[in-house]
Structures are given as structure tokens and as C-alpha cells.
Amino acid sequence: MMDLSDSTPGRFVEPDQELGSVVVPLLKGVIYMEDNPALWNSLLALEPGVRDYVSVMGLELILDEAEGYAFLRSRPESEETGSGNTGSGTVPRLVARRQLSYPVSLLLALLRKKLAESDVSGADTRMILSRDEVVEMVRIFLPEGTNEVKLIDNVDAQLNKIADLGFVRRLRRQRDMIEVRRIIKAFVDAQWLSDFDQRLTEYREHLGRERENG
């Protein structure tokens, strides 16, 4: 039986209040163990209740204890029918889909591939890269003579978008350094990586069209 009391004599914590203290942060974004250990421990303790709670909203909890992250996503059946029309008996979508640009998609794939290579080599679980290293990763897919200043500005803009999505974060006091967050593995999976060459071909075709239209 769950103990709903805390250390304060005479105080009782309502179940919904306890669940809400975890669900609300999840609805706002990803929860990381390293960022908020107390919240993470509460999530682990309340996991079954959280799963039942969010399922009513057409969501499912994705929790990876080994990697230390958790987030909510729409259930597959909700993605197919959740158009926002509650009159049909379906649950409206609470987690919006995001359409990523080709450059951002490419950079996500390159970072995910780099993380996979780092894991295979048995390197540190944290992957830290400099902006210059990221620029070099992207450069090989661009035509020779690409303006250097424009390239760096574009990479910075793409990194900012990826940081907003929670896949990387800039290090404090070292703004030219980023950490690739391991949650990227949940979004860019093994199947996605297996199609990497095809995606790169699509990206090169996209660049060709841009140059023709430029």
C-alpha cells in the first residue's frame, strides 16, 4: 500500500496532487535524472500511477532508467485518430508533431551516428563536442567553396533548434561546446540509422534543388 503521508505530522498528500507533481513537469518536456534527482525518484516511485494517469489523455510514458530520461508521447492509436475532434470519441493530440528541416534532420542523424560510434568504442557515456567538430561533420556534405562564416552561423542556428528540442545542450561557460543528450537514441533509432544513406541522398538532392533555385 502506498504511503501518502509525509514527514510532517498531521499532513496528508492527495494522490492526484502527488501524481500531478510529476505529470505536470512531464507535460512540459523531458525529465532527466541528472538535472532533477528528486523529481526523477518521485517518477520512479509513482511510475504505475503516472502511466495510468497519462493514458487517459492518450499519452504513454517513455522511461529509460539506464539512460536516465523520461518523456511523454502520443499513443500510436491516438496519433492515427487524434485530429483534435472530440466529437468522434477520440482523444485530441496533446503532444504536437514537429516537422524538421533537412539541415536539422541531417545534423540529428550525424550526432546520433557519432553517439553510436562512441558507445561501440566504449568511450565516456557523455559525448562532448566542440562547435568546430560539428561544423566538420556537416562540411563534407556541402559543396566546396561554401562560405565559412555562413556555414558556422547555419550550424549554430541548427544546434540552437536541436537544443530547444532537448537533444543537445550547450555547456555553461563554454558556449562553443555541446553535450549530445542520450535521449536522442529514443528518437533516432536503429532503423532510422539503417536508412541513413538513403536520407543522405535525399539531403544532397535537396541541396541541389536549393542551389538551382538560389
Question: All 3 cell numbers of residue 179?
Answer: 553535450
Q: What pLDDT is stored for residue 97 in this prediction?
A: 57
pLDDT in tens, 136-170: 988 877 766 678 888 888 899 999 999 888 889 98
Q: Nearest Cα to 50, choosing from 65, 67, 70?
A: 70
Spatial separation of the C-alpha atoms in residues 33 and 142, rounded to whole Å: 37
Sign of CA dihedral 28, 30, 35, 38: positive
Q: What is the pLDDT confidence band of residue 212, given thresholds at 50, 70 and 90?
A: low
Q: What is the pLDDT confidence band of residue 3, given thresholds at 50, 70 and 90?
A: very low
Higher pLDDT, 20 or 192: 20
The whole model's pTM is what? 0.65
Is the pLDDT at 133 greater than 90, yes or no? yes
Angle between helices 148-164 and 102-120 (to 10 degrees): 80
Domains and CATH numbers, the chain: 15-88 (1.10.10), 102-213 (1.10.10.2260)
**Contact call for residues 111 and 185 (beta carbons, < 8 A):** no
Spatial separation of the C-alpha atoms in residues 153 and 127, rounded to whole Å: 22
Q: Nearest Cα to 97, choosing from 82, 86, 114?
A: 82
